Structure 1
Amino acid sequence: MSAAFAAFAAFDQLATMVALVGSDGRCLQANSALENLMGISRRTLMRSSLVDWVADPTQLRETLHLVARNEVATSRFDALLHRQPAGSAELPVHVIVNQTDWPGCVLVELIVIEQQIRLDREERTHGLAQANKELVRNLAHEIKNPLGGIRGAAQLLAMEVTSKELTEYTQVIIHEADRLQALVDRLLAPHRRPHVVADVNIHEVCERVRSLIQAEFPRGLEVVRDYDASIPEFRGDREQLIQAVLNIAQNATQALAGSAPPDTDAPFHGRIARGDAQLVLRTRVARQVTFGRQRFRLALELHIEDNGPGVPEDIRDRIFHPLVSGREGGSGLGLTLAQTFVQQHQGTIECDSVPGRTVFKILIPLP
């Protein structure tokens, strides 16, 4: 049994709650995550039964006996955990019970359901982003090849025709081919641009974005800086991060500057013209953050917040998809590129939006 206790020390490095229990539920070992989330000391946990901490202990008790007797190798179910101090809200968890190599011992893993949902969403988002990047890249190449031929043919035709009206038509073809070429170049930009890694100060990135935004909107927009000066530098591509933050900030300012839809009372539109628009750049340090299945001790948390009308509800779940835009005439590439650049830094982007408050949160691991 001492070997089991020695091996269990490694579980203190996990973000999920883990306990080594007997078949009767008696807690033999608990990791630091369980200790912290339950709000009680490890010593107290080890003087009690894990069964006592579950709101409805019947399923856990039966599962522990089944796994300990080798009738099933593993089992999963959802449960509610009591927490300290008394009266605290019960914690919904996903319970995984596994066999161990130590006689009479069962390993119980408890994953907070909100965390599990977030992890599943991140995995789906990452997989979808990868599929979208491949689709966009292949589509862009397929468009690019004939586009050059169309433009070249229009130029040759323009040299042959003498009619002013026909010349105007050829110029329309050339102009539209150039516009499509620019769109294709933007689609391919993340795949062409080399990842230039150097020390990055996130506040230099934010200040660069702030200066660009205020140059575009010198009046009517207040840009609030709320920085944590203790955030260390990290290795990354400064230009990519500037572009990512700028794309999000520009989306916000376009929403703040936009006019209200006809026949509606939309108090959050046109705020720049009214002079009460606000954009907040906020940096913080997040601790013990999990991206996908990897845990990081520290992470940069950058909030880009505005008091605009919010992301339209019908596209809220698709805003990072390519060519999806909530603005007439928008390319729908700004957030896609921002997500690509942040993912290249092992990070994620999340969005929380309601009318009057939209927050994009960028998370990037720190050394």
Structure 2
Amino acid sequence: MSAGLLRNSFKGAASAAPFFPTLLDQMPNAIVVFDAENLKLAYANPAAELALDASRKSLEGQSIPDLFGDNPPLNNMISEVCAGHFSTQRQELVLHALPGSIHQDSTPAHVVVALLDDPSLVIMEWFPIDQQLRSERDERVTQQVEANKQLMRNLAHEIKNPLGGIRGAAQLLEYELPHKGLHEYTQVIIKESDRLQALVDRLLAPHRKAHAMELFNVHEALERVRSLVLAEFPKGLRIIRNYDTSLPDILGDREQLIQATLNIAHNAAQALGEEIEQGTAQIELKTRVARSVTISKKRYKLALNLHVIDNGPGIPEDIRERIFFPLVSGRNGGSGLGLTLAQTFIQQHQGFVACESRPGHTDFHIQIPYRTQEK
């Protein structure tokens, strides 16, 4: 948003306070307005509430140092604007949260500070730089995934055709062999052909089945995932529910989203072998709502944030950037298709899945937009 538009939005704001324009409530970037003399907040939009992890009511009356501490670059920007040396200041800097606050991360951000027409008010807008980087990364990943999917579909079809011939020839050969002891070798061919056939079917399955779109409660779906994982790992594993029960029903293919989450949670449980033996293994299923999100360059008012978090050893660094690629697995005997299928199902719902991993903390973040019922 331009500084001029910001200033115009607040013309006469001092006389109309606290009735600030609703226009800023709709802006995707975090925006606060504060007094130029004492730096105390008079207004914060919903994006700022989300960024600062606090309600507008609790933010009003707090000062900029209360929120960001002693930040010389930010303080200098504000001083220059308040002194009238510049009407607008722009800079990329790190916004530090105060120790002990709920939102403790430091955020590299692009910050704009501008003096309003009423010189007693200053407006500050910021957005995380990693938000822009993530958008660019998501676009690259989407293009790469589409290329991989097309490659795998073509490859699967090329494998499928001769595979039936190999299996049929092995069966005919088995009938002709004079010694039954040799059947062991033909059975190897037949069983391996069946295994490859099943692998090919799994590669093609997501693109064959039509969506069964319906409104459903995401927590009921997660409870099914939870029960399935605990049925396979009944001892030594704790699955924590961290649900926002106020979430509305979501429109989607219920079975596909269950399968996508189950693939991720099952992978996490398998990676927790040592922790399960020690009785310290845990997986957290966390849901929250996200407002004003951009996914693949499309804006949505609301989205579901779903996190599957485990306390395992983390994903090996050498495959961390490739975990969603087909046939890439960090586990001996793994097919490398679970996360690929999960990503496919989620992308078919216009969402995305990303992963951050370090020893002791692996977080798979799924974001799916809320959409209206298609007619």
Structure 1 residues 329 and 42 mapped into 2: Cα distance closer, same or farther (>3 Å)? farther
Structure 1 residues 132 and 152 mapped into 2: Cα distance closer, same or farther (>3 Å)? same
Helix, strand or coil: the match of 2:170?
Answer: helix
Task: Give the aligned partner of residue 202 of structure 1.
Answer: 218
Provide the TM-score with structure 2 as the length reference. 0.71
Aligned pairs for 1:1-367 within 5 A: 18-19=1-2, 21=4, 27-28=7-8, 32=24, 37-40=30-33, 79-80=91-92, 92-93=109-110, 112-257=128-273, 270-367=274-371
Asked if 1 retains the 8 angstrom alpha-carbon contact of 2:93 and 2:111, the reply is no
Deviation at 1:81, TM superposition (A): 6.8
Asked if 1 retains the 8 angstrom alpha-carbon contact of 2:326 and 2:336, the reply is yes
Return the alpha-carbon distance in structure 2 between the equivalents of residues 84 and 165 of structure 1. 73
Structure 1 residues 366 and 41 mapped into 2: Cα distance closer, same or farther (>3 Å)? farther
Structure 1 residues 246 and 146 mapped into 2: Cα distance closer, same or farther (>3 Å)? same
Asked if 2 retains the 8 angstrom alpha-carbon contact of 1:39 and 1:84, the reply is no
Asked if 2 retains the 8 angstrom alpha-carbon contact of 1:53 and 1:82, the reply is no
Helix, strand or coil: the match of 2:350?
Answer: coil
Return the alpha-carbon distance in structure 2 between the equivalents of residues 37 and 308 of structure 1. 34
Letter of the structure 1 residue corresponding to residue 110 of structure 2:
V
Structure 1 residues 90 and 329 mapped into 2: Cα distance closer, same or farther (>3 Å)? closer
Return the alpha-carbon distance in structure 2 between the equivalents of residues 365 and 242 of structure 1. 16
Return the alpha-carbon distance in structure 2 between the equivalents of residues 82 and 167 of structure 1. 69
Deviation at 1:167, TM superposition (A): 1.4
Letter of the structure 2 residue corresponding to residue 19 of structure 1:
S
Deviations 1:248-294 (A, max 9, x none): 0110011001xxxxxxxxxxxx1111111111111111112111212
Structure 1 residues 160 and 211 mapped into 2: Cα distance closer, same or farther (>3 Å)? same
Asked if 1 retains the 8 angstrom alpha-carbon contact of 2:265 and 2:308, the reply is yes
Deviation at 1:28, TM superposition (A): 4.7
Asked if 1 retains the 8 angstrom alpha-carbon contact of 2:310 and 2:362, the reply is yes
Structure 1 residues 314 and 56 mapped into 2: Cα distance closer, same or farther (>3 Å)? farther
Helix, strand or coil: the match of 1:147?
Answer: helix
Structure 1 residues 137 and 56 mapped into 2: Cα distance closer, same or farther (>3 Å)? farther
Return the alpha-carbon distance in structure 2 between the equivalents of residues 235 and 245 of structure 1. 16
Deviations 1:65-102 (A, max 9, x none): xxxxxxxxxxxxx94379999xxx8964399xxxxxxx
Asked if 1 retains the 8 angstrom alpha-carbon contact of 2:242 and 2:287, the reply is yes
Structure 1 residues 112 and 308 mapped into 2: Cα distance closer, same or farther (>3 Å)? closer
Deviations 1:171-218 (A, max 9, x none): 111011001001101111111121111112111110111111111011
Where structure 1 has 5 or more consecutive residues not aligned to the other structure, the ranges are 1-17, 46-51, 65-77, 96-108, 258-269
Deviation at 1:29, TM superposition (A): 5.4
Provide the TM-score with structure 1 as the length reference. 0.72
Question: How many residues get paired?
Answer: 296
